[in-house]
Copies of this chain bind each other. A is one copy, B any other.
Amino acid sequence: MVRWEPGARERLQAAALDLYASKGFEETTVVEIAQSVDLTERTFFRHFVDKREVIFAGQDVFQQGFIDGVADAPHGASPLEIVTSAVLAGSGFFTEDRRTHSRQRSAVITATPELRERELLKMASLAAAIAGALRERGVPDPAATLAAESGTTVFRMAFERWLEPDSKRTLIELEREMFAELAALTGSTARSDQ
């Protein structure tokens, strides 16, 4: 007989997401989340630094995928090519079977400014990590930072489209299209109005 049911962390994450989704983030108390899986508020805060972080736990895993992508990019690639490789590599994490879960998660985040803030901070830290990896490869600033920021922007926009209800394409396809759009933005002479 075990003293505690295992997987407290995972149960808390699942319960939190469900509650945030069903009754809203602000309307959910941490005590509720904890009690719903037979734990106490104190235990919640031992696993997650705050009420928002439950939703973002495990980010580091996929962030590493991006960093590895930078290292694995072919020798002699341009900064933007390296970043493209990093984004595509990091996106391998988001397989088709995670799409539904990602959608629910994203809906909760979008509906809650407090969670959007946290997500933006995570993205900023991802961009900073990529920029650091670029610098280690010899890319100077501001090109390194600019490329990293552009890469995460492309990722965010592609990811958003990937989650759209009727979207059938692959995240990676969407990312390639978005990188092409970025190139067109500075390269093309297209006129937008007149």
Chain A interface (Cβ within 8 Å of chain B)? 75-80, 82, 113, 116-118, 120-121, 124, 134, 137-139, 142-143, 145-147, 149-150, 153-154, 157, 161, 178, 181-194
Contacts and interface: CB of A to CB of B under 8 A. Distances in A.
A139 B77 contact: no
Contact of A143 (B124, B137, B181, B194): B181
Contacts of A138: 192-193
A117 B52 CA distance: 12
5 closest A-B pairs by CB:
A120-B120, A117-B117, A138-B193, A76-B194, A139-B192
26 contacts: A75-B194, A78-B190, A78-B192, A80-B185, A113-B121, A116-B124, A117-B117, A117-B120, A120-B124, A137-B192, A139-B192, A142-B157, A142-B161, A142-B181, A143-B181, A143-B185, A146-B153, A146-B178, A146-B185, A149-B153, A150-B153, A153-B153, A182-B186, A183-B186, A186-B186, A187-B187
